[in-house]
Structure 1
């Protein structure tokens, strides 16, 4: 009874470690040689009720050790907590006190996801403010950028002729719930989108991390602007797919120093963060949801259960699968500065993520899919 599922789980784990693009290897990008001159950059920062963190984020941008013109456009997306004032105060005390433009997002039109609409508003303002900018840095209002971060990002984009260069920043990992779930978030993302495949122009897999995306202006123009992804909740991966189409170069790496300032606190907030977009990732398909539930159960939950419940070959096969699972998770824990003792608990974390994914489908059926910061998307996705 147990042996077939244990053997299948073990076979899957062999494939994941040997054939899934080395997703479990958490290496950091090597520095590149900086060109003689770097191009002008404009940063677009969508912000909705981010007063607690936006000042530090804006200051980290304006304090960049960047030798070319750099301007920041912050889009105040109908905040009611003083987000714009906090951003202006931070800019005034930065090394580029005149380097910030604040604009207010127009009313969200039907068919647009809120963040994408704010990004488009910022892009239009950037075209007027910095018309000669070769790159647009789309970044979130809760990201703390290291002083040399943009310099290295732009240098790599120039050296490798990248149309999109993205970094997955280090996530906030302080509370017990964050320590248990945030390394797994990055681990699961990399399993879904192996970075090696993302960075291969000949591979169909495309992804980006919305916290840091340096995009070539002409690449945005080539895809018809952000209207192409207007309804996407997972806007970063949608933008990456649109840009990569046709073999254009994109890159996604782990950040060494850039980090998120957003803390999720308890398990309930983490659950809601996952549930917001998990069913969107599955294209609102009940069949894909059932497939994911079956796959996660087989891959993550069966090994420890069978290890405890079975005897003989089935137990040893399941234990071997669990061992491979634990080994694959260790680099993610090391990257986040967490103890390796968290690794055997990955099946429990996977069950948590599966529960939140099922809840995401429930929320969608109740008309609450995509709810974020008190706002719903105005319509269903445009097909």
Structure 2
């Protein structure tokens, strides 16, 4: 067989493993409610039970909603009212941390609170972060400290671009209380409107689930740990025991670092796809999505050039080889390469279909996944280049030249 045929065989073998051995990452059934109720089957995989309506807690715990916000005047009118008007039977409040904004974010938040009423709102401004802190975690530090002084049992950490349906908080708290969870996180449904959003956004969530299979996170014997930073319900006592956010103060990928800190403290967690939580932040152009991915991609690889090289090679073999082998088979007469590459491409596209359905996108986009993977490969390489140029993770006027998780104390 030719070299490209052998590479195609390797790609097909990799897709066989990904299909069956990577926690069924491609399925999209880990959602609230009621799939938080889980069972463990004979091989230790976690799957949903028959749907049941979660019971209301006998006493609704007090919740503080903490929102870090830096220059969010554009999206705040779409997100903050959804928090202020939560239909929650217990005591709850909103703490918005204005992270040194220059667009009037804090003033706008106060105006929205007057206009919509609902939950009480407190706006605080901690100023520029101290050395050793990323901006978001510095904001969370102050917001969580203020909230803890009022004795909430739970903290809802949610980004300023995240809009919640009226029953979102109720469902999150019910899941945490009924299942004795310390952290409940939902990956908000990102906006998909422009051409580039349709092409890139579903794949972003697909790749995240591939890296951190939700079933592995949610199992009784967890094999992975992660959270989605846009929506995290966290038990206050567990946060204090884990030393959050101090122990992760330098983390750019703060959601995964947060989840790991909670897990080390003995916390139980659940992560799934959201039905009632949406991101309203637009990414209309490829450059916007490029910045979103590249600012943290190399941090995910621990700034290790060998890991980067392995990642690039892996993406090439798994995602780029199948269409290349198919083309060689079609135009170069290499029948083995063509058939094996085509089969690997078919399996790849099949695993992408559930995510496209979740995002309500046309299924004909499934065969374009290799092109999207090529974009992500280039974004990852660019992330490394920016890191070595000293521009690191740049976000809203701040640059973290060498971001990394803070050491445990």
Residues 1:3 and 2:5 are matched in the alignment? yes
The verdict on how the C-alpha distance between 1:324 and 1:380 changes in structure 2, with shifts beyond 3 A counting, is: closer
Residues 1:30 and 2:33 are matched in the alignment? yes
Matches within 5 A, 1:221-370: 221-245=240-264, 247-310=266-329, 311-370=334-393
Alignment partner of 1:168 out of 167, 182, 187: 187
Paired with 1:301 and 1:219, the residues of 2 have a C-alpha distance of 43
Paired with 2:171 and 2:21, the residues of 1 have a C-alpha distance of 31
Normalising to structure 1: TM-score of the pair?
0.97
Please give the secondary structure, in 2, of the residue aligned with 1:371.
strand
Shift of 1:272: 1.0
8 Å contact 2:8–2:322 — kept in the other structure? yes
8 Å contact 1:23–1:196 — kept in the other structure? yes
Shift of 1:36: 2.2
8 Å contact 1:60–1:144 — kept in the other structure? yes
Paired with 1:86 and 1:246, the residues of 2 have a C-alpha distance of 38
1:165-189 deviation digits (Å, cap 9, x = unpaired): 0000110100001010000000000
Alignment partner of 2:168 out of 137, 149, 160: 149
Q: Gaps spanning 5+ residues in structure 2: where?
A: 35-53
Shift of 1:249: 0.8
Shift of 1:48: 0.2
Normalising to structure 2: TM-score of the pair?
0.91
Residues 1:66 and 2:88 are matched in the alignment? yes
Paired with 2:377 and 2:96, the residues of 1 have a C-alpha distance of 35
Alignment partner of 1:18 out of 6, 17, 20: 20
Paired with 1:380 and 1:308, the residues of 2 have a C-alpha distance of 41
Paired with 1:379 and 1:37, the residues of 2 have a C-alpha distance of 45
Alignment partner of 1:88 out of 91, 107, 110: 110
Paired with 1:30 and 1:104, the residues of 2 have a C-alpha distance of 36
Please give the secondary structure, in 2, of the residue aligned with 1:138.
strand
State which drifts further: 336-345 or 27-36. Answer: 27-36
Shift of 1:29: 3.0
Paired with 1:232 and 1:19, the residues of 2 have a C-alpha distance of 30
1:296-321 deviation digits (Å, cap 9, x = unpaired): 00000000000111322221111110
Shift of 1:89: 1.4
Shift of 1:205: 1.0
Paired with 2:265 and 2:102, the residues of 1 have a C-alpha distance of 42
The verdict on how the C-alpha distance between 1:338 and 1:379 changes in structure 2, with shifts beyond 3 A counting, is: closer
Paired with 1:147 and 1:82, the residues of 2 have a C-alpha distance of 26
Shift of 1:284: 0.3
Paired with 1:184 and 1:379, the residues of 2 have a C-alpha distance of 27
Shift of 1:55: 2.7
Matches within 5 A, 1:49-198: 49-96=71-118, 99-128=120-149, 131-198=150-217
8 Å contact 1:114–1:377 — kept in the other structure? no
Alignment partner of 1:205 out of 224, 239, 243: 224
Paired with 2:303 and 2:220, the residues of 1 have a C-alpha distance of 28
Matched with 2:48 is none
